[in-house]
Amino acid sequence: MSIFDIFAKLEQERKQQDSAAGPIEWLVVGLGNPGSKYENTRHNAGFRALDSYCQKTGQRIDRMKFKALVGEGTFGGKRVLFMKPQTFMNLSGEAVRDAADFYKIPPERIVVLFDDISLDVGRLRVRAKGSAGGQNGVKNIIYQLSSDQFPRVKIGIGAKPHPDYDLADWVLSKFQGEDETKIQEASQHAMEAAEEIVRNGPAAAAQKFNGK
């Protein structure tokens, strides 16, 4: 058997496993900007939450599809597609829309994790729906889906240190010291909150995680 035959067999087995596992029922989307330049910046809190989950569980999010890095898995008892859009933050909705259209996923079954400057570093807030609140990635998702009825997990990254500080510079800055420790813990809790949304709904997740 040649190396090509081996790869073909492995791919066939993977497809069979995916098919046996059932259809995708939910999308779990972490927002951020692609590239090493943006790694561990405040704006990449959504990416970081997914990365934390991958490190803990061995889940892989490494296939390019729908303008995003994706990976399939079981999460909260459901089959989900984990997504890290690669379009840069302001166009995140394009990837979400493409995946939602393909799998016929309604907004109510799309969980989005993202940074929020109105929350202290490491604080979480779960919402079942709502406006973008100034977050451009969420704004684009609302535009592309023509709906704001998707649950979300907001991850606190802290407010600007003073009013004159440029917002773009702030959200693209990296966590340091105590903030780094807080965001590590928050990344894990954010995925636990997302899993609770999938399992029991956003109200249950909000009761359990808001303010954590």
43 as an active site residue: the answer is yes
Quick check: 54 and 61 in contact, CB under 8 A? yes
Domain that holds residue 191: 23-209
Residue 6 lies in a domain: no
At 161 the pLDDT is 80
Residue 17 lies in a domain: no
Number of domains the chain is built from = 1
At 19 the pLDDT is 43
Q: Which long-range contacts (CB under 8 A, 24 or more apart) does 95-99 make?
A: 95/29, 95/66, 95/67, 95/68, 96/27, 96/29, 96/141, 96/144, 96/145, 97/141, 97/144, 97/145, 98/66, 98/67, 99/27, 99/65, 99/66, 99/68, 99/70
Residue 2 lies in a domain: no
Phi, psi of 71 (to 5 degrees): -160, 140
Q: Which of 26, 28, 43, 189 is catalytic?
A: 43
At 159 the pLDDT is 80
Quick check: 186 and 153 in contact, CB under 8 A? no
Residue 7 lies in a domain: no
Residue 9 lies in a domain: no
Residue 188 lies in a domain: yes
Tell me the mean pLDDT per 10 residues along the chain, length 212.
Answer: 62 52 92 90 93 93 95 94 95 96 97 94 94 92 96 91 81 87 94 96 94 70
At 172 the pLDDT is 84
Residue 84 lies in a domain: yes
Q: What is the residue type of 86?
A: Q
> What is the reported pTM?
0.86
Quick check: 33 and 44 in contact, CB under 8 A? yes
Residue 73 lies in a domain: yes
- CATH code, domain carrying 133: 3.40.50.1470
Q: What is the residue type of 53?
A: Y
Compute the CA torsion angle 162, 163, 168, 174 (nearest 10 deg).
10
Give the pairing type, strands 78-85 and 63-65. unpaired
Annotated binding site for tRNA: 38, 88, 90, 136
